[in-house]
Amino acid sequence: MPTLVQQFVTTVIAHGLFEELDRAYLVNRVFALVGEHDTEVAEELSILELKDALVAQAITSGKISDLADEQDMLGAELMNFITPSPSQVNRQFWETYAESPEKAIADFYHLSQANDYIKVKAIAQNIAFETETEFGALEITINLSKPEKDPKAIAAAKAMPSSDYPKCMLCLENEGYQGRIGYPARTNHRIIRFDLQGQTWGFQYSPYAYFNEHCIFLHGQHVPMGITPATFSRLLDIVEQFPGYFAGSNADLPIVGGSILTHDHYQGGRHTFPMEKAPIETPVAFAGFESVEAGIVKWPMSVLRLRSKSKADILALAEKILAAWQSYSDDTLQIKAETDGTPHHTVTPIARRVGDAFELDLVLRDNQTSEEFPDGIYHPHPDVQHIKKENIGLIEVMGLAILPPRLKAEMAEVEDYLLGKSQHVAPYHQTWADQILAKHPSITPANVTAIIQQEIGLVFSRVLEDAGVYKRTPEGQAGFLRFVTSIK
């Protein structure tokens, strides 16, 4: 009967990076990581099951503690045995790309799943559903994949010497990084290098993906994000170079921006978001850009969609729109370009191919605050923050809500309240729960979950409306058209 280490090594050899002659070497390297007290296994396990069992063995043997960070580091190191070196991965990618870009991308995606860099097992724990709204079916994810912070790990991290290497989690230097308490392991991480307008950029997948083939395009240098005409040009080049993928950028200002503004990067993937399905509601025309089909999208946020077969024309028009928006104010609608020299206006851009045409969505953003809305005038307002209070970034803009893990338990409490099993819910859910009761007088165990999911979707729709600069009122839409006609 084979032992755990023997079966793992056999599986590693079967992946083709090592040969039978390497068996003793591999056994010894694995023993060094997990301890020499090996155990027999009665069944054939997958590579991920073997990895998990070896991590458990390492805890038993005292090679690592039971801290999640240490388990993550060991797991990544074990999976590195089946991961080709960065040079091999890049060489294979570009050799395959010359024959078929689609196959090169698919092979790299498969590798990133097979070697457990993409946390497929953890992602499967997420709660995901769709809810119908006037803007189509919005997508909701309660994010349960990322591990919760371990108090023991937090204490251990405080006791460790501080480090600024890598500078952030998007730097190329993460490739192969061992990890440390408080910083994720990247031993099995691989990045495809590619040229983007004369600069080295990286293409990688997100370890905790929120949608199909969720990937990241990152600058080869640690430089801050910025929304400029070059951003639009890069996004269109990316969707041309990576067929089937969209590419988008978070905004570059606080409140309306993403979580990492210190390293220039874009997100992409193979997914059709609700916003992409939304139609143009109000066609508009721009003088001198007759080749560009343009319009205001039927969406809770303020979106201008541009579509053209001419990359040059779509880029020139996008540059005009950005420049106009950065300097545009409308006091009647509380829209200000800047306050005392501090800019408020930017865009969240999303690029894709539609047949042989380029499509670019420009979502107008404004990061003003006020006494009434200190978190942001165009940010989720207090009455919806019981569901979503974080910044509305690129993914949410497109209609996919990423909601905090606390909601899993809290929604179970709301269900019990709606069914009369409990008299208590979290105070910040109380008003909402009572509104649901009034709206749905016939709540049963059979329909309560569907009702709550539908109401969460409606709250998310409101969240997006709060983040929309031009409201979906006659006054708001008239203001949107005033801005459009101001663009010269």
Query: So where are the chain's domains?
Result: 4-63, 125-146+401-467, 210-378+471-486
278 in Cβ contact with 139 (< 8 Å): no
Q: How confident is the model at residue 160 (pLDDT cuts 50, 70, 90)?
A: low
162 has a pLDDT exceeding 80: no
Q: How confident is the model at residue 147 (pLDDT cuts 50, 70, 90)?
A: low
Gap between the Cα atoms of 193 and 190, Å rounded: 10
Q: What share of the chain is helix, strand, coil (3-state, %, to 5)?
A: 40, 20, 40
pLDDT at 163: 78
3 has a pLDDT exceeding 70: yes
What is the residue type of 194? Answer: F
Mean pLDDT of 326-335: 96
Per the structure block, which two tokens stand in for 436? 């649901």
Q: What are phi and psi of 485, to 5 degrees?
A: -70, -15
375 in Cβ contact with 392 (< 8 Å): no
Q: pLDDT exceeding 70 applies to what percent of the chain?
A: 97
247 has a pLDDT exceeding 50: yes
Q: pLDDT exceeding 90 applies to what percent of the chain?
A: 92
88 has a pLDDT exceeding 90: yes
pLDDT at 222: 97
Gap between the Cα atoms of 319 and 23, Å rounded: 59
Mean pLDDT of 170-186: 96
8 has a pLDDT exceeding 70: yes
Gap between the Cα atoms of 83 and 175, Å rounded: 12
Identify the H or E element spanning 52. helix 47-61
pLDDT at 152: 52
pLDDT at 148: 57
Gap between the Cα atoms of 216 and 223, Å rounded: 15
pLDDT at 258: 73
136 in Cβ contact with 155 (< 8 Å): no
462 closest CA partner among 435, 441, 444, 443: 435
Q: How many CA atoms lie within 13 A of 262 on its CB side?
A: 7
Mean pLDDT of 39-67: 94
Mean pLDDT of 1-16: 94
Contacts of 184 (CB under 8 A, 6+ apart): 69, 72, 169, 207
Gap between the Cα atoms of 61 and 75, Å rounded: 15
Alpha helices in 209-282 (DSSP H): 229-241, 274-277
pLDDT at 156: 52
174 has a pLDDT exceeding 50: yes
403 closest CA partner among 393, 389, 414: 389
Per the structure block, which two tokens stand in for 335? 């829209």
pLDDT at 164: 86
- What average pLDDT is seen over the chain? 95
420 has a pLDDT exceeding 50: yes
Condensed to tens digits (0 to 9), the pLDDT of residues 132-145 reads 999 999 999 999 99
Q: How confident is the model at residue 298 (pLDDT cuts 50, 70, 90)?
A: very high
422 closest CA partner among 435, 404, 408, 410: 410
